[in-house]
Amino acid sequence: MKNQLRIIGGEWKRRQLAFASIEGLRPTPDRVRETLFNWLMWDIQNTKVLDLCAGSGALAFEALSRGAAHVVMIEPDRTQAQFLSQNLELLKVTKARAQLKVSTAQQALPTLKEQFDLVFLDPPYALDLWTSLAELADPLIKQDALIYIEADRDLPLLQLPASWQLIKSTKAGTVRAGLYQKK
């Protein structure tokens, strides 16, 4: 069984991408994604992006569509990783622009050597991984980089690194989203 998501803007605007039906996998809602990428409009070009919990790939593909230079996607579910891989091929994304790590973020993060300008931290809500993944990812995040967080609870409850300052936030239904900057 597969589902579809639509890219909102950029080079692949309106393209439909398939993703697996997996419990807990929920693409960032279109309205929230549109808000996020309006926030990032002037900051996305030529960035190095880390998508810690890629899932459907909605955020990573949207970033690539809008001019990110390089994206690292981490996805532990092999079935969904196959969909991500197929979507990269469908969109003719080169290996220089996108890397897919089929593992948990906890396993993949210590192996990464590069520094990132933009990080997406949107784990499955039930796993409650915000604090632990933020701590693991923090050394890979450049000074002044942006970090997008999506959660099912108020953002101040997440216990994020003190150097991450909330600069914008929004709410859509049960989804709380925030854009942080590392100071």
Buried residues in 75-110 as b, exposed as e (16+ CB within 10 A) = bbbeebbebbbebbeebebeeeebebbbebbeebbe
Q: pLDDT band at 27, cuts 50/70/90?
A: confident
Mean pLDDT across the chain = 95
Q: Render pLDDT for 69-92 as a digit per residue (tens, 0 to 9).
A: 999 999 999 999 999 999 999 999
What average pLDDT does the segment 28-37 reach?
92
pLDDT surpasses 60 at 1 = no
Task: Characterize the bridge pairing of strands 175-182 and 164-172.
Answer: antiparallel
What is the pTM for the complete model shown? 0.96
Render 137-162 in DSSP notation, one character per residue: HGGGEEEEEEEEEEESS-GGGG---T
Q: Render pLDDT for 122-173 as a digit per residue (tens, 0 to 9).
A: 999 999 999 999 999 999 999 999 999 999 999 999 999 999 999 999 999 9
